[in-house]
């Protein structure tokens, strides 16, 4: 979307372009002021067509990062990216949220997460459920206010509560690391019990907390998957005769092209895959930063969708020039569940 001077002020994707554009211009009291101001400044449109919705998502990310349109920045603040931080350096450990990560401070970080509100909701939910919502940030002889409200087990007073608190924190770390779902399962049991007792308000609270935690876990899975820097060959059918091949490493599309099924040889695909994966030099296991998280999430969701099928190409196949192995793997990908006539 452009203003009267031809400057790009907003970039967005649409599966149904007509419906999306109408949603902006439709008179509605529900529109926030940012949308109203955007619409009042629109003078022209540019339209870019892609073969797949996945490409549209990735192109949207790329253009927003490169152009930095005014209204995209207004609608998504960089401060919305958040980390969960756990400080185990002191006797009184802390568990909270931050907008910045410092890998030199010895603290444990999870994220980044693109929704600060969801992160806060999950943290408050866990703290309330396990009564570790302490309103004091250090150990004292007197209990904090939340202790009297039943929201703190009393770690602010020291004693055995500190040990109990540390055990809970270790369980939280195991949960966020995807190693132990005990906390989540316990919350589900509490939700079911509350529902059986007709305490629907409490059940709804547990439901919201569970949804927020699942949001965090899904983002952690996407981050972990991306940081492994796998060589991924992805195929999506565009019609009965054509498909599109994507070669992906980390959060980048290295190659994308449309092919005819009948006119494509395994040797051709093998050469393409070998060439592109051999020439990239990404640092394996490098941690994602904020500029990479959106693309990583798009790629992860796409790979887990029903629209495509993919194959991981091991590094040793490329290093050892196992052309035939790669060719056979990709051809199986193309002709999976299909009858080969040639």
pLDDT in tens, the chain (342 residues): 999 999 999 999 988 888 888 888 876 667 888 888 888 899 999 999 999 999 999 999 899 988 989 888 766 654 567 888 998 887 778 888 888 888 788 899 887 787 788 888 888 888 888 888 887 766 666 788 888 888 888 887 777 888 888 888 899 899 888 888 888 888 899 899 999 999 998 899 889 888 888 888 887 788 888 888 889 999 999 998 999 999 999 888 999 999 998 888 888 888 888 888 887 755 555 677 767 778 888 999 899 888 898 989 888 888 777 778 887 777 777 766 443 333
CA distance 235 to 36: 40
What pTM, to 2 d.p., does this model score? 0.68
Structure confidence at residue 5 (pLDDT): 93
Q: What angle do CA 75, 102, 73 make, to 5 degrees?
A: 10
Q: Enumerate the β-bridge partners of residue 116.
A: none
Per DSSP, the chain holds a count of helices (H) and strands (E) of 13, 7
- C-alpha of 94 from chain center: 25
Burial of residue 21, with CB atoms counted within 10 A of its CB: 0-12 exposed, 13-18 middle, 19 or more buried: middle
CB 157 within 8 A of CB 148: no
What's the length of the chain?
Answer: 342
Burial of residue 175, with CB atoms counted within 10 A of its CB: 0-12 exposed, 13-18 middle, 19 or more buried: buried
Task: For residue 256, give both structure tokens.
Answer: 């994308």
CA-nearest of 244, 249, 328, 318 to 282 is 249
CA distance 242 to 192: 49
The SS3 call for residue 235 is strand
Structure confidence at residue 50 (pLDDT): 94
Task: For residue 147, give both structure tokens.
Answer: 């202790």
CA-nearest of 90, 103, 1, 112 to 46 is 1
Residues 6+ apart with CB under 8 A from 214: 184
CB 309 within 8 A of CB 336: yes
The SS3 call for residue 258 is strand
């Amino acid at each position: 979307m452009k203003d009267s001077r031809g400057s790009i002020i907003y970039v967005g994707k649409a599966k149904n372009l007509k419906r999306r554009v109408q949603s902006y211009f439709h008179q509605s009291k529900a529109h926030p002021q940012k949308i109203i101001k955007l619409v009042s400044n629109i003078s022209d449109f540019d339209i870019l067509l892609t073969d797949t919705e996945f490409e549209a998502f990735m192109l949207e990310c790329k253009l927003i990062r490169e152009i930095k349109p005014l209204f995209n920045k207004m609608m998504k603040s960089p401060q919305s990216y958040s980390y969960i931080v756990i400080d185990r350096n002191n006797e009184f450990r802390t568990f909270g949220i931050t907008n910045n990560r410092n890998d030199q401070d010895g603290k444990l970080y999870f994220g980044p997460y693109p929704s600060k509100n969801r992160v806060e909701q999950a943290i408050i939910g866990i703290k309330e459920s396990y009564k570790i919502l302490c309103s004091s940030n250090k150990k004292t002889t007197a209990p904090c206010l939340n202790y009297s409200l039943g929201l703190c087990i009393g770690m602010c007073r020291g004693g055995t509560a500190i040990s109990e608190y540390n055990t809970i924190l270790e369980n939280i770390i195991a949960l966020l690391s995807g190693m132990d779902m005990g906390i989540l399962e316990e919350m589900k049991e509490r939700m079911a019990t509350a529902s059986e007792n007709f305490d629907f308000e409490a059940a709804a609270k547990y439901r919201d907390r569970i949804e927020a935690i699942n949001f965090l876990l899904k983002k952690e899975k996407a981050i972990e998957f991306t940081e492994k820097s796998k060589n991924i060959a992805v195929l999506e059918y565009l019609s009965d005769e054509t498909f599109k091949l994507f070669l992906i490493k980390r959060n980048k599309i290295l190659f994308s092209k449309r092919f005819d099924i009948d006119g494509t040889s395994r040797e051709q695909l093998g050469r393409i895959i070998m060439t592109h994966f051999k020439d990239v030099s990404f640092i394996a296991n490098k941690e994602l930063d904020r500029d990479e998280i959106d693309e990583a999430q798009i790629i992860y969701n796409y790979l887990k969708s029903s629209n495509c099928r993919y194959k991981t190409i091991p590094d040793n196949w490329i290093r050892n020039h196992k052309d035939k192995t790669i060719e056979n793997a990709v051809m199986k990908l193309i002709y999976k569940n299909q009858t080969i006539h040639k």
